[in-house]
Protein backbone atom coordinates (compact mmCIF):
# COMPACT_ATOMS: atom_id res chain seq x y z
CA UNK A 1 0.00 0.00 0.00
CA UNK A 2 1.01 3.59 -0.46
CA UNK A 3 -0.47 7.08 -0.49
CA UNK A 4 -0.13 10.02 -2.85
CA UNK A 5 0.62 13.44 -1.35
CA UNK A 6 2.13 16.76 -2.44
CA UNK A 7 5.89 17.22 -2.47
CA UNK A 8 8.43 19.73 -3.78
CA UNK A 9 11.08 18.35 -6.12
CA UNK A 10 14.14 19.64 -7.96
CA UNK A 11 14.38 17.93 -11.36
CA UNK A 12 17.63 19.30 -12.76
CA UNK A 13 20.41 21.82 -12.05
CA UNK A 14 19.13 25.35 -11.96
CA UNK A 15 15.52 24.50 -12.78
CA UNK A 16 12.89 26.01 -10.49
CA UNK A 17 11.45 23.55 -7.98
CA UNK A 18 8.07 21.96 -8.74
CA UNK A 19 5.15 21.04 -6.54
CA UNK A 20 4.07 17.57 -7.69
CA UNK A 21 2.32 14.42 -6.51
CA UNK A 22 4.62 11.95 -4.83
CA UNK A 23 3.98 8.39 -3.73
CA UNK A 24 4.81 7.54 -0.12
CA UNK A 25 4.95 3.80 0.63
CA UNK A 26 3.56 2.40 3.86
CA UNK A 27 6.37 1.97 6.38
CA UNK A 28 8.30 -1.28 6.19
CA UNK A 29 10.36 -2.80 9.00
CA UNK A 30 12.24 -0.09 10.88
CA UNK A 31 10.49 2.74 9.01
CA UNK A 32 7.95 5.42 9.89
CA UNK A 33 5.66 7.72 7.92
CA UNK A 34 5.53 11.20 9.40
CA UNK A 35 2.86 13.81 8.77
CA UNK A 36 4.99 16.91 8.32
CA UNK A 37 3.71 20.02 10.12
CA UNK A 38 6.52 22.49 9.39
CA UNK A 39 9.79 22.48 7.45
CA UNK A 40 12.38 25.25 7.32
CA UNK A 41 14.12 26.30 4.10
CA UNK A 42 17.86 25.69 4.56
CA UNK A 43 20.65 26.86 2.27
CA UNK A 44 21.50 23.19 1.73
CA UNK A 45 18.19 22.73 -0.14
CA UNK A 46 19.38 25.35 -2.58
CA UNK A 47 22.79 23.63 -2.81
CA UNK A 48 20.90 20.46 -3.84
CA UNK A 49 18.85 22.19 -6.49
CA UNK A 50 22.03 23.81 -7.89
CA UNK A 51 23.74 20.43 -8.17
CA UNK A 52 26.26 21.37 -5.46
CA UNK A 53 25.72 18.23 -3.35
CA UNK A 54 25.44 15.42 -5.92
CA UNK A 55 23.67 14.71 -9.19
CA UNK A 56 21.07 12.19 -8.01
CA UNK A 57 18.11 14.17 -9.38
CA UNK A 58 15.19 14.35 -8.89
CA UNK A 59 15.51 15.44 -5.27
CA UNK A 60 12.63 15.64 -2.84
CA UNK A 61 13.71 18.78 -1.00
CA UNK A 62 13.22 19.84 2.63
CA UNK A 63 14.99 18.41 5.65
CA UNK A 64 14.46 20.74 8.62
CA UNK A 65 11.14 19.51 9.88
CA UNK A 66 8.86 18.54 12.71
CA UNK A 67 5.61 16.62 12.60
CA UNK A 68 3.61 13.76 13.99
CA UNK A 69 4.27 10.08 13.41
CA UNK A 70 1.39 8.65 11.39
CA UNK A 71 2.37 4.99 11.14
CA UNK A 72 5.32 2.74 11.89
CA UNK A 73 6.55 -0.51 10.37
CA UNK A 74 7.33 -3.84 11.97
CA UNK A 75 9.79 -3.87 14.82
CA UNK A 76 9.68 -0.13 15.52
CA UNK A 77 9.79 0.52 19.26
CA UNK A 78 11.38 3.96 19.62
CA UNK A 79 8.36 5.93 18.33
CA UNK A 80 4.62 5.31 17.97
CA UNK A 81 1.80 6.91 15.96
CA UNK A 82 0.85 10.26 17.47
CA UNK A 83 4.34 11.12 18.75
CA UNK A 84 5.54 14.67 18.07
CA UNK A 85 8.98 14.39 16.51
CA UNK A 86 11.80 16.37 14.95
CA UNK A 87 13.27 14.63 11.90
CA UNK A 88 17.01 14.11 12.01
CA UNK A 89 19.62 13.12 9.43
CA UNK A 90 21.76 11.26 11.94
CA UNK A 91 19.96 8.05 12.89
CA UNK A 92 23.00 6.30 14.31
CA UNK A 93 23.58 2.63 13.54
CA UNK A 94 25.07 1.48 16.84
CA UNK A 95 27.29 -1.00 14.98
CA UNK A 96 29.98 0.90 13.07
CA UNK A 97 33.43 1.58 14.43
CA UNK A 98 32.53 5.13 15.52
CA UNK A 99 29.41 3.95 17.34
CA UNK A 100 31.21 1.04 19.00
CA UNK A 101 33.96 3.27 20.35
CA UNK A 102 31.39 5.56 21.96
CA UNK A 103 31.39 8.36 19.39
CA UNK A 104 28.02 7.88 17.72
CA UNK A 105 27.97 11.52 16.57
CA UNK A 106 30.56 10.44 14.00
CA UNK A 107 28.53 7.39 12.88
CA UNK A 108 29.30 6.69 9.23
CA UNK A 109 26.44 4.29 8.60
CA UNK A 110 23.40 6.35 9.57
CA UNK A 111 19.96 4.98 8.73
CA UNK A 112 17.46 6.25 6.18
CA UNK A 113 14.29 4.60 4.91
CA UNK A 114 15.00 1.53 2.80
CA UNK A 115 11.97 1.88 0.52
CA UNK A 116 11.93 4.72 -1.99
CA UNK A 117 9.40 7.48 -2.36
CA UNK A 118 8.62 8.01 -6.05
CA UNK A 119 6.89 10.20 -8.59
CA UNK A 120 3.54 8.82 -9.79
CA UNK A 121 5.33 7.37 -12.87
CA UNK A 122 7.57 5.32 -10.57
CA UNK A 123 10.71 7.51 -10.85
CA UNK A 124 12.63 7.15 -7.59
CA UNK A 125 13.21 10.32 -5.57
CA UNK A 126 16.37 11.22 -3.64
CA UNK A 127 15.16 12.80 -0.40
CA UNK A 128 17.39 15.70 0.69
CA UNK A 129 19.62 14.42 3.50
CA UNK A 130 17.51 11.26 3.56
CA UNK A 131 14.46 13.22 4.75
CA UNK A 132 12.47 15.00 2.00
CA UNK A 133 10.03 17.03 4.10
CA UNK A 134 8.67 19.70 1.77
CA UNK A 135 5.83 17.20 1.52
CA UNK A 136 2.59 16.49 3.34
CA UNK A 137 4.07 13.20 4.49
CA UNK A 138 7.47 11.58 4.29
CA UNK A 139 8.94 8.12 4.79
CA UNK A 140 12.00 7.91 7.03
CA UNK A 141 13.88 5.40 9.17
CA UNK A 142 12.25 5.30 12.60
CA UNK A 143 15.57 6.38 14.12
CA UNK A 144 15.27 9.64 12.17
CA UNK A 145 12.33 10.58 14.40
CA UNK A 146 13.37 12.20 17.67
CA UNK A 147 10.56 12.67 20.20
CA UNK A 148 10.42 16.06 21.87
CA UNK A 149 7.98 17.92 24.13
CA UNK A 150 4.85 18.65 22.04
CA UNK A 151 4.43 21.97 23.85
CA UNK A 152 6.93 23.43 21.34
CA UNK A 153 5.35 24.68 18.09
CA UNK A 154 6.37 22.67 15.01
CA UNK A 155 7.63 25.81 13.22
CA UNK A 156 10.21 26.28 15.96
CA UNK A 157 11.00 22.65 16.74
CA UNK A 158 11.72 21.74 13.12
CA UNK A 159 14.60 24.21 12.95
CA UNK A 160 16.63 22.00 15.27
CA UNK A 161 16.46 19.33 12.57
CA UNK A 162 19.23 21.03 10.61
CA UNK A 163 20.52 24.58 10.48
CA UNK A 164 19.94 25.72 14.04
CA UNK A 165 21.34 22.49 15.47
CA UNK A 166 24.30 22.74 13.09
CA UNK A 167 25.04 26.27 14.31
CA UNK A 168 24.54 25.69 18.02
CA UNK A 169 26.55 22.48 17.82
CA UNK A 170 29.33 24.07 15.74
CA UNK A 171 29.94 26.46 18.63
CA UNK A 172 29.27 24.23 21.63
CA UNK A 173 29.99 20.66 20.50
CA UNK A 174 32.67 21.12 17.83
CA UNK A 175 34.20 24.41 18.96
CA UNK A 176 33.87 23.57 22.64
CA UNK A 177 32.88 27.16 23.44
CA UNK A 178 32.33 27.64 27.13
CA UNK A 179 32.17 30.22 29.92
CA UNK A 180 34.42 33.20 29.37
CA UNK A 181 35.54 32.31 25.85
CA UNK A 182 35.66 34.69 22.91
CA UNK A 183 34.10 33.58 19.65
CA UNK A 184 33.69 35.13 16.22
CA UNK A 185 31.07 33.87 13.79
CA UNK A 186 31.46 34.62 10.07
CA UNK A 187 28.11 34.59 8.24
CA UNK A 188 25.05 35.21 10.37
CA UNK A 189 22.30 33.46 8.44
CA UNK A 190 20.31 30.74 10.16
CA UNK A 191 23.39 28.65 10.92
CA UNK A 192 25.70 31.44 12.07
CA UNK A 193 23.00 33.13 14.13
CA UNK A 194 22.43 29.81 15.87
CA UNK A 195 26.14 29.58 16.65
CA UNK A 196 25.76 32.98 18.30
CA UNK A 197 22.71 31.91 20.33
CA UNK A 198 24.56 28.74 21.33
CA UNK A 199 27.62 30.70 22.41
CA UNK A 200 25.49 32.89 24.65
CA UNK A 201 23.88 29.79 26.13
CA UNK A 202 27.36 28.41 26.83
CA UNK A 203 28.47 31.59 28.60
CA UNK A 204 30.89 33.01 26.04
CA UNK A 205 32.10 36.44 27.16
CA UNK A 206 32.71 38.03 23.77
CA UNK A 207 30.60 37.06 20.81
CA UNK A 208 31.56 38.77 17.55
CA UNK A 209 29.14 38.59 14.62
CA UNK A 210 30.56 39.13 11.11
CA UNK A 211 28.48 39.50 7.97
CA UNK A 212 28.27 41.56 4.78
CA UNK A 213 24.68 42.47 5.52
CA UNK A 214 23.82 44.96 8.25
CA UNK A 215 20.39 43.37 8.80
CA UNK A 216 22.02 40.07 9.73
CA UNK A 217 24.21 41.89 12.23
CA UNK A 218 21.17 43.47 13.86
CA UNK A 219 19.56 40.03 14.13
CA UNK A 220 22.78 38.58 15.54
CA UNK A 221 22.85 41.25 18.24
CA UNK A 222 19.32 40.29 19.29
CA UNK A 223 20.50 36.70 19.63
CA UNK A 224 23.49 37.52 21.81
CA UNK A 225 26.33 39.04 19.76
CA UNK A 226 28.25 41.49 21.90
CA UNK A 227 30.06 43.07 18.92
CA UNK A 228 29.57 43.18 15.17
CA UNK A 229 31.82 43.63 12.14
CA UNK A 230 30.38 44.53 8.76
CA UNK A 231 32.98 42.87 6.52
CA UNK A 232 31.61 44.17 3.25
CA UNK A 233 34.53 45.66 1.30
CA UNK A 234 37.10 44.46 3.88
CA UNK A 235 39.98 42.20 2.90
CA UNK A 236 41.25 39.36 5.09
CA UNK A 237 43.76 41.51 6.93
CA UNK A 238 41.14 44.12 7.75
CA UNK A 239 38.67 41.52 9.08
CA UNK A 240 41.43 39.91 11.16
CA UNK A 241 42.49 43.30 12.52
CA UNK A 242 38.88 44.05 13.46
CA UNK A 243 38.55 40.73 15.33
CA UNK A 244 41.84 41.37 17.12
CA UNK A 245 40.77 44.88 18.07
CA UNK A 246 37.73 43.39 19.80
CA UNK A 247 39.75 40.70 21.62
CA UNK A 248 42.50 42.73 23.30
CA UNK A 249 44.74 42.20 20.28
CA UNK A 250 44.72 38.40 20.52
CA UNK A 251 42.09 37.02 18.16
CA UNK A 252 39.14 34.87 19.19
CA UNK A 253 39.40 31.53 20.98
CA UNK A 254 37.05 30.02 18.42
CA UNK A 255 36.07 31.27 14.96
CA UNK A 256 33.13 29.62 13.21
CA UNK A 257 33.01 29.90 9.41
CA UNK A 258 29.32 29.60 8.61
CA UNK A 259 29.81 30.64 4.97
CA UNK A 260 32.31 28.11 3.63
CA UNK A 261 34.41 30.04 1.12
CA UNK A 262 38.22 30.32 0.89
CA UNK A 263 38.14 33.99 1.89
CA UNK A 264 35.97 33.41 4.95
CA UNK A 265 38.08 30.40 5.93
CA UNK A 266 41.23 32.53 5.77
CA UNK A 267 39.52 35.15 7.96
CA UNK A 268 38.70 32.40 10.45
CA UNK A 269 42.17 30.90 10.26
CA UNK A 270 43.97 34.17 10.99
CA UNK A 271 41.24 35.70 13.15
CA UNK A 272 41.67 33.19 15.96
CA UNK A 273 44.18 33.49 18.75
CA UNK A 274 47.29 31.30 18.71
CA UNK A 275 46.22 27.75 19.57
CA UNK A 276 42.64 28.73 18.84
CA UNK A 277 40.06 26.69 17.00
CA UNK A 278 38.53 27.11 13.54
CA UNK A 279 35.19 25.43 12.94
CA UNK A 280 34.02 25.12 9.32
CA UNK A 281 30.26 24.58 9.27
CA UNK A 282 29.37 26.36 5.99
CA UNK A 283 29.36 23.89 3.11
CA UNK A 284 31.80 24.74 0.29
CA UNK A 285 30.92 23.91 -3.30
CA UNK A 286 33.22 21.36 -4.95
CA UNK A 287 35.24 23.77 -7.12
CA UNK A 288 36.50 25.91 -4.23
CA UNK A 289 40.20 25.59 -3.33
CA UNK A 290 42.03 26.82 -0.25
CA UNK A 291 45.65 27.91 -0.24
CA UNK A 292 47.46 28.60 3.04
CA UNK A 293 51.16 28.79 3.95
CA UNK A 294 51.82 25.44 5.60
CA UNK A 295 54.18 27.14 8.03
CA UNK A 296 51.21 29.15 9.33
CA UNK A 297 49.15 25.99 9.80
CA UNK A 298 52.02 24.67 11.88
CA UNK A 299 53.11 27.85 13.57
CA UNK A 300 49.71 29.04 14.78
CA UNK A 301 48.90 25.73 16.46
CA UNK A 302 45.40 25.01 17.64
CA UNK A 303 42.88 23.00 15.69
CA UNK A 304 41.07 23.16 12.39
CA UNK A 305 37.77 21.33 12.61
CA UNK A 306 34.77 20.71 10.42
CA UNK A 307 31.32 20.38 11.87
CA UNK A 308 28.72 18.18 10.28
CA UNK A 309 25.35 18.82 11.84
CA UNK A 310 27.07 20.46 14.79
CA UNK A 311 28.43 17.06 15.88
CA UNK A 312 25.02 16.56 17.42
CA UNK A 313 23.45 13.44 18.76
CA UNK A 314 19.75 14.01 18.10
CA UNK A 315 18.51 11.82 20.95
CA UNK A 316 20.70 13.75 23.40
CA UNK A 317 20.52 17.27 21.99
CA UNK A 318 17.03 17.82 20.53
CA UNK A 319 14.96 17.17 23.68
CA UNK A 320 17.44 19.18 25.78
CA UNK A 321 17.36 22.20 23.44
CA UNK A 322 13.56 22.09 23.21
CA UNK A 323 13.40 22.08 27.01
CA UNK A 324 15.70 25.13 27.13
CA UNK A 325 13.47 26.82 24.56
CA UNK A 326 10.36 26.09 26.63
CA UNK A 327 12.11 27.56 29.68
CA UNK A 328 12.77 30.78 27.76
CA UNK A 329 16.53 30.28 27.62
CA UNK A 330 16.94 29.68 23.88
CA UNK A 331 14.90 32.03 21.66
CA UNK A 332 14.30 29.65 18.76
CA UNK A 333 11.25 31.65 17.69
CA UNK A 334 13.55 34.49 16.61
CA UNK A 335 14.85 32.30 13.78
CA UNK A 336 11.43 32.09 12.13
CA UNK A 337 11.39 35.15 9.86
CA UNK A 338 8.20 34.12 8.08
CA UNK A 339 5.87 31.18 7.59
CA UNK A 340 5.04 30.30 3.99
CA UNK A 341 3.05 27.77 1.96
CA UNK A 342 4.46 24.71 0.23
CA UNK A 343 4.21 26.52 -3.12
CA UNK A 344 6.44 29.39 -2.04
CA UNK A 345 9.86 27.72 -1.91
CA UNK A 346 11.42 29.39 -4.97
CA UNK A 347 10.42 32.75 -3.51
CA UNK A 348 11.99 31.68 -0.21
CA UNK A 349 15.26 30.80 -2.00
CA UNK A 350 15.29 34.28 -3.53
CA UNK A 351 14.70 35.89 -0.12
CA UNK A 352 17.50 33.78 1.33
CA UNK A 353 19.86 34.88 -1.44
CA UNK A 354 18.92 38.51 -0.87
CA UNK A 355 19.53 38.12 2.85
CA UNK A 356 15.93 39.02 3.70
CA UNK A 357 15.35 36.11 6.10
CA UNK A 358 16.98 33.95 8.73
CA UNK A 359 14.52 31.18 8.05
CA UNK A 360 11.39 30.87 5.96
CA UNK A 361 9.36 28.00 7.38
CA UNK A 362 6.86 26.07 5.29
CA UNK A 363 3.72 25.27 7.26
CA UNK A 364 1.76 22.22 6.08
Vertex 309: Cα angle to 337 and 341 (nearest 5)? 30
- The site partner of 107 among ligand NAD, Zn ion, none (C-beta below 5 to 8 Å per kind) is Zn ion
Question: Considering only residues 60, 66, 72, 258, which one is a binding residue for ligand NAD as defined by CB under 6 A?
Answer: 258
Question: Considering only residues 24, 220, 281, 364, which one is a binding residue for ligand NAD as defined by CB under 6 A?
Answer: 281
- Binders of Zn ion in range 42-61 (CB under 5 A): 42, 44
Task: Indicate the residue whose CB is closest to ligand NAD.
Answer: 189
- Binders of ligand NAD in range 292-311 (CB under 6 A): 307-309
Smallest Cα–Cα separation from 260: which of 206, 193, 307? 307
Q: Cα 101 to chain center, whole Å?
A: 25
- The site partner of 264 among ligand NAD, Zn ion, none (C-beta below 5 to 8 Å per kind) is ligand NAD
Look at the chain and count its residues.
Answer: 364
Residue 127 and residue 333 in contact, taking contact as beta carbons nearer than 8 Å:
no
Interatomic CA distance for residues 115 and 127, integer angstroms: 11
> Is 96 near Zn ion (CB under 5 A)?
yes
Nearest CB to ligand NAD, comparing residues 158 and 260: 260
Radius of gyration, CA atoms only, the chain = 20
Interatomic CA distance for residues 124 and 59, integer angstroms: 9
What x-and-dash track marks residues 164-203 binding ligand NAD by CB under 6 A? --x-------------------xxxxxxx-----------
Nearest CB to ligand NAD, comparing residues 72 and 131: 131
- Binders of Zn ion in range 237-296 (CB under 5 A): none
The DSSP 8-state label assigned to residue 174 in this structure reads I
Interatomic CA distance for residues 298 and 190, integer angstroms: 32
Q: What helix, strand, coil percent values describe the chain, rounded to 5? A: 30, 25, 40
Residues that bind ligand NAD in the complex, under the rule CB under 6 A: 42-44, 47, 162-163, 166, 186-192, 210-213, 216, 231, 258-261, 263-264, 281-283, 307-309, 352, 355
Residues that bind Zn ion in the complex, under the rule CB under 5 A: 42, 44, 92-93, 96, 99, 107, 109, 162
Amino acid sequence: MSQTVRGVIARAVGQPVELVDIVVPDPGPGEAVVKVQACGVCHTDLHYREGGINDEFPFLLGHEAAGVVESVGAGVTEVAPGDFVILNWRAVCGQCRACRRGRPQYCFNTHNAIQKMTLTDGTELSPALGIGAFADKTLVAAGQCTKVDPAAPATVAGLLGCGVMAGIGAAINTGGVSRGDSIAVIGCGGVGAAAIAGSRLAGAARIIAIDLDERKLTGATELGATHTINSSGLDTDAVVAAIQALTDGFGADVVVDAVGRPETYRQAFYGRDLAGTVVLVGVPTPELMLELPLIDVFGRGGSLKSSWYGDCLPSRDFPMLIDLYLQGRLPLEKFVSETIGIGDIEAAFAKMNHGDVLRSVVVL
